[in-house]
Every structure is written in structure tokens, then in C-alpha cells.
A and B are shown apart, each in its own frame.
Chain A
Amino acid sequence: MTREQWERLKVLFNGALDQPAERRHEWLTLHAHGDEILAREAGALLLAHDTAEGFLEEPAVVDPTDLAALDELRSGTRIGSYEIEHEIGRGGMGVVYLARDLRLGRPVALKALPQLHDSNAALQERLRREARAAANISHPTVATVYALEEIDGRLFIASEYIDGHSLRSEIESGALERRRAIAIAIDIVSALCAAHDAGVIHRDLKPENVLVTRAGAVKVVDFGIAHIDSINTRLTREGDVIGTPAYMAPEQLIGGTIDARVDIYAVGIILTEMLTGQHPLTAGRHSIHTSASEIARRCVQTDPNERYRSARELLAVLERERSDPTAVTDSLTSPLPEASRARWWWEFHQAAVSIVYAVMVWPTWLARNVIGGQTGNAVFVAVLAAAIVAVTLRLHLWFTSRSYPAELEWARGRSTGWMLVSDAIFASALVVAGVLVGDERPALAVIEIAVAVGAATSFAVVEPATSRAAFRRTNRL
């Protein structure tokens, strides 16, 4: 619409509006001078006018928390003895600025903590206490907290300014090289050790809170204060649904008792993300299993008691992982052809052995009839029982490997003993059967003894070999 048309529309609209409702249409047709499009537009506007009851009638309203969340400090603003340079980040815990400490002439990261209701004196005291505790952590991979400032009734935390990028930006461009992922995890966990020793739990560890300096050093930021916003949120906006923070341990999400192990959980998620480039919740099931992913898996157990007990224990495991020479060439960015082929052979072996065991029940039944009596029955029952146990366990492992690879290590650990016993009984019973029927049915005897030798070779030589190839990297755990 041109300005000229708009002016004509305005004349039509205002003119028609002055008419009684029933005469408007007629008036419009008369005064539009044949411009039907304009007449129709004016008619539509009149209709909108009549139905606009209440629309924009009341002035806009605003939630004070929205206002408080605005970019508030501009370049050059003085806050106590700090001069704001510019905003460098904004997150759950408020806004972070790059500022200059005018007393010492050094740059600092100045965090403006969320404004709290005056009645929350207890909470404010807690914030102060936690910020002080965080200031007590001294470690090369923890961003040092310089000061807690209270200016105009508002809390600010001044800490070491880190010129670099966040781990998030690295993960966004894909999985990290395995060795680097382990090294970063070690730096994070070292920071946790120092913090936990000082009695500070991070509570909101995530790739955004792990910074990498230009020189490549890792620095964990926001110890002990990152969760403030979640408290604040609960207090200021009751009834709101809080999203599912993807790094929070289950007990944290449900508001249960929290201890240092929530940080261990977060490390598990971050480690997986570094190794695969994806958050475990979006990554789906991984069929590749390496010792590093096993460490991550142990960290993210739902039950805190099943995680590593402390950051120190996790640190030791990670350091062993770093020095493990068998894992050096390992990379998780793509499936390992060698490892998955070995796993396939191992699965094939399990299936093949199961079939042979099942089939051998039939010749042994024939042998029982030849031998006869108690002995025949005993031999047959021994073979049958051993075959049932061995086949059941092998199919169980085969199924676990295919469907729940994460549980395989555990399942294998539990069945190995039983398999050895059943294999031994099976082979021995076959030898006995073969010897007993030897004179009458030489062919049957040959089959029984040949399979017994085959089974013995299989469990003594072949199976350890395929298992070793398939599980080389996880056997250690």
C-alpha cells in the first residue's frame, strides 16, 4: 500500500466510522469512487475495529525479573573499584563482564549475581559463604576467585579473567582426539579434587564452564555459585517448570541429597561428549566399547553408590587410562574395524559352539541306548545338563552382545566360571560315552571323542583367543 492509498483509506475509515453501523457499508461504496479494493480494505478494518474489544486496551505489563535480566552495565560503568569493559557471557548465574580492577590494574571477570528478594537473608548469607569457600580453592585448573564484592546491596564476584574459548565450542566441531579428551578430563577432575577438598561442590559442571586458554590450559569456572540461579528461580518464579539440565545427576534433578558425586556424574557426560561429539542423551546406543567410554559409563550411574566414590579415585583411573599403551591408537570418532570384526568372530564362535552342543545330545542318546543301565543314563544326563547350561549361557552372552553391549562385560564376568565347568563336564562325558560304546559302535565312538576333543580345543584355545581379541580393551576393568 502506498502512502497515498493509506491516506485515502484513512479518510474512508474515519468517515465510515462516523456513520451509524448499518449505514457504513453504503457510505463506503458511495465514497470509494469505484475503488473496490480500497473499499474492501476499509470494510475489513471496520470489522476489525468492531471486534478489537480489549485489544491493546490495557498498557503492556512487564515482569520485573525480565527487566532485571537486561544488559545492565555498559562499558565505562564503575562498580566499586571495577570499571566495566564489556559483557562476555550470560547464563544461569547472571551476567559476566570483562572489567578492570582499578586498584591492581588487572583484568577480571566480574559476575553480577542475580538480585534477590530482601527476605532471602539466609540465602544471601549462603551465597556469601559459598563464594568465600570458592575463593579458598587454589589450583592451576580452577579459575581463581579474587574477591566477593557487595556493591549497592548487590553481590559481585571478581575472578581470574580467562582469555580463551569454552570446551563447548570445541565439542561443537566434533569429537576430540581421544588423548586430548582424557587429558582435559584429568584437568577437570584435578580441579574437582581441589574443590571437594575445600568443601565446594561445583553442581553445574558442563562444557560451558570449562574454559581453555589461548595457551591450551584448562580452567574450570563458577565453582559453588553456578547453581545460585536455580535456587533463585525456585524462589522467584514458583510453579514454573524448570528444564532438564542435561548435566545434572538424577538425585540433583529430583531435589535429593547432593554430594560431590553429582560432579562425577557431570564428568561422565562431558567425557562422553568429548569422545563422541554428542551428548549421551542424543547419541543413541553406541556399539563401540573402549575403556574410556567404560569410565564415562561408570560415572553416570543413576545410583551414586555405583559411581566412582571420589574425584580422587576417578583421577587415578583416568591417569591409568592415559598411560595405557594398548589404547594409544584408539579413536572413538569412528567405529574401529578391527575391534568390531573381532567381536563378530566372538559372537560367531558362541553361536557355533551352542549349535554343536545342542546337536551332540542326539548321538549321546544313541550311545546311552548302547551302553544301557545306570552308566548309560548317567553319561547321558551329564552331557544333557552340561549342554543345557553351556548353550543357555552362550546364547545369553550372544544376545547381550547384540542388544545390550553395555552390560556384556558384567554378564561375561558372571558366566565365565559356569561355562568352564559345564564345558569340562560336557567334554569329559563325551569321552566316557565314546570309550564305552567303542567296541559295539566304532563310528559313534569316533564322533563322540572327536567332538569332545573339538570342544576341549575350543574352550581351551579358540575361545580365549576370540575373547581376547574382542575384549582386549575392556578386560582391564
Chain B
Amino acid sequence: MPLVYDELRRIAAGYIRRERPGQTLQATALVNEAFVRLAAEQPRSFANRQHFVAIAALSMRQILVQRARARKAAKRGGAPNRVTLDEGLVSTEPRGVDVLALDEALTRLAALDPEQARIVELRYFGGLTVEETADVVGVSPATVKRQWAMARAWLKRTVDAAPDDGADAHL
């Protein structure tokens, strides 16, 4: 687990050095790159690719939630004497998914239907295709599609019903 985390961070550092500032990375690209690099460096660290992407998806989810929380806390920063430069980094995020609300809903979904929650985690945070997800979960692609459809509907409904926190933490 920490290995994946470190690898993701190293890749990010590489991107900052090479790419133009302000660019975003898609989970798919990041996870793939991390896998290729780790597989080359430490082939025995993971049982297989499935094992790796499952961990990578979970890492991505934690990373996004952690940063969204930090942003939210920074925005609510309060008294001016608490303002540090770090809080000055608060940026407006594109795209309309509230990561914190999604994370919360996903945790609730996991209690009702662990498989659906896992599928969402792999597809959204890990960037896997239906086939890849089916491979990792060990079910047929048709099942993944069905489960995904219901999970997405349920999450949409739950996230929309959650009290709106304003524009905070959108990612």
C-alpha cells in the first residue's frame, strides 16, 4: 500500500517537473503508469495486476478525499491570523463531483452492497474499463454493467439529496 502511494507521488513529481503547470492527470493514466513502473522495479510486490489496481484505486480515493478535506478546511480558515500560505493555494476545481459527498455515499453503499462499492471505486477512482473491472472483481462484464448502473443511480440520488455545502470541495 505505501509502495503504491509513494509511486503515485513520484509520478506526480515527475509531471510537475516535465509538464506545464496546472495540468490535471486522469486516474487511468496515473494508475497505469504506476503499475508499469512498479512492475519493472519490484515485480514481486504484487500478486498480480488486479491486486495492484485495487490498491491503486483505493489510494486514489484516499488522496482525493484527503485533499478535498484540506481544501475545505482551508476555505473555512476563519480568523486572518490563521491564514498561512498553504491556504492561499486554495483553487477552484473543475468538474462537478463533490468528492467528499461521493466518498460518504460510497461508504454507505459499501455497507449495503460491497461489490457495487468496489466496482465504483475501481471504475471511478482507478479508471478501469468494464472488462478490467470484471477481471479484478471476478464477475462477468454484464454483471459489472448492471451493478454499475444501479450503484451510479443510487449514488447520484444520495449525493444530490445530501445538504449542499456550497461550492466547497468540488473536484
Contact = CB atoms under 8 A, between A and B. Distances in A.
A68 B9 contact: yes
A244 interface: yes
A17 B154 CA distance: 14
Interface in B69-111: 77, 79-81, 83-91, 94-95, 97, 99, 102
Contact of A244 (B11, B83, B102, B156): B83
Contacts of B156: 48-49, 51-52, 55
Nearest to B77: A243
B171 interface: yes
B16 A91 contact: no
B6 interface: yes
Given A60-B60, A62-B60, A279-B80, A237 B89 contact: yes
A56 B28 contact: no
B125 to A, nearest CB: 5
Given A64-B16, A204-B85, A236-B16, A59 B80 contact: no
A301 B79 CA distance: 21
Nearest to B61: A60
Contacts of B90: 240-241, 243
A392 interface: no
A6 B84 contact: no
Contact of B127 (A60, A206, A229, A246): A60
Given A48-B154, A56-B152, A242 B88 contact: yes
Interface in B8-61: 8-9, 11-13, 15-19, 21-28, 30, 60
Given A59-B26, A243-B88, A64 B15 contact: yes
B55 to A, nearest CB: 15
Given A17-B149, A45-B150, A238-B21, A282 B79 contact: yes
A279 B81 contact: yes
Interface stretch (A111-119, A187-195, A373-381, A400-408): A111-119
A386 B89 CA distance: 61
B136 interface: no
Contact of A66 (B6, B63, B152): B63
B9 A237 contact: no
Q: How large is the interface on A (under 10, 10 to 19, 20 to 34, 35 or more residues)?
A: 35 or more
B84 A92 contact: yes
A55 B151 CA distance: 11
Interface string A363-377: 000000000000000
Interface string A139-176: 00000000000000110000000000000000000000
A30 interface: no
Given A49-B153, A115-B16, A63 B24 contact: yes
Contacts of A118: 17-18
A246 B16 contact: no
Given A48-B153, A51-B156, A245 B85 contact: yes
Given A59-B27, A67-B11, A91 B22 contact: no
Interface of A: 1, 3, 6, 10, 13-14, 17, 44-46, 48-49, 51-52, 55-56, 58-70, 72, 74, 90-92, 115-118, 153-154, 204, 206, 208, 229-230, 233, 235-246, 273, 279, 281-282
Given A63-B22, A153-B17, A240-B91, 16 more contacts: A13-B153, A14-B150, A45-B153, A45-B157, A49-B150, A56-B123, A59-B27, A59-B127, A60-B171, A64-B25, A91-B84, A92-B88, A235-B21, A242-B88, A243-B87, A243-B88
6 contacts: A48-B154, A48-B156, A68-B13, A233-B89, A237-B91, A246-B83
Interface of B: 2, 5-6, 8-9, 11-13, 15-19, 21-28, 30, 60, 63-64, 66-67, 77, 79-81, 83-91, 94-95, 97, 99, 102, 112-113, 120, 123-127, 146, 149-150, 152-157, 160, 171
